[in-house]
Amino acid sequence: MTSNTAANPRIEFFDMIANQWDGWHDLRELACNLDASLAMFGIDPDATVVDAGCGTGNLTVSLLNGTLGPCGRIVAVDISEKMLDLARRKVTDPRVAWHCGTADQLPLDDGTVDHVICFSSWPHFHDPAAVIREFRRVLRTGGALHILHLISRSEVNRIHAQAHPSVHHDILIPACETAKLLEMHGFRVITMTDDDSRYLITARKPG
């Protein structure tokens, strides 16, 4: 075990499941559902987007195929080298910069990002306050953070409770509590859904 995996045992877990990840999903159906969500986010074709906790790159694929134009840009970040290896093999588009690292230390200058999207990754961020501060740092004024799960909160928590011990405590808290945390750190919450089929919070960095 390296010092990184000792510091964050999720790295070992996500490395371990990386090869199985896409096989656990119907990628065609996932793409349709992601496209529908992305259509609501108001992403400009020239936007710079962070895919935080990108895994094997499925959100990035949807952003490239249906949302961003030739001048759009994605910085896709994950702690798992194995997930990133698969993502890099899947997507060779020059609009994407892949980065192995944690969401609370992004390789980006202040105020340079239009949207940060956390798709199925938020509860795994073990220091959410640090992550929120980092997202606020990199977002431009008026830029948006989207926290998205395409299943219910109870389903997310059931899956984590039955998975590897490293994620047993990665609990997705009610959207109204996440919203409070975001507002405490200077975001303005715009939309919030926490129902039987999805969890979505969109918050903006106010001027």
Ligand X SMILES: C[S@@+](CC[C@H](N)C(=O)[O-])C[C@H]1O[C@@H](n2cnc3c(N)ncnc32)[C@H](O)[C@@H]1O
> Which residues contribute to the site for ligand X (CB under 6 A)?
10, 14, 53-56, 58-59, 77-80, 83, 102-103, 119-121, 124-125
- Closest chain position to ligand X (CB): 55
Smallest gap from Cβ 94 to ligand X, in A, equals 21
What is the rounded CA–CA span in Å between residue 172 and residue 152? 10
What is the rounded CA–CA span in Å between residue 52 and residue 44? 18
Smallest gap from Cβ 160 to ligand X, in A, equals 9
Smallest gap from Cβ 172 to ligand X, in A, equals 11
Residue type present at position 160 = H
Complex with ligand X: residue 105 or 193, whichever CB lies closer: 105
Complex with ligand X: residue 114 or 170, whichever CB lies closer: 170
Smallest gap from Cβ 150 to ligand X, in A, equals 8
Complex with ligand X: residue 103 or 203, whichever CB lies closer: 103
The residues near 114 (Cβ < 8 Å, ≥ 6 apart) are: 43, 44, 47, 48, 49, 139, 140, 143, 144
Smallest gap from Cβ 24 to ligand X, in A, equals 9
Category of 193 on φ-ψ map: left (φ > 0), alpha (ψ -120 to 50) or beta: beta
CA angle 149, 32, 50 (to 5 degrees): 55
Answer yes or no: are the C-beta atoms of 157 and 124 closer than 8 Å. no
What is the rounded CA–CA span in Å between residue 107 and residue 54? 15
Complex with ligand X: residue 77 or 203, whichever CB lies closer: 77
Complex with ligand X: residue 59 or 175, whichever CB lies closer: 59
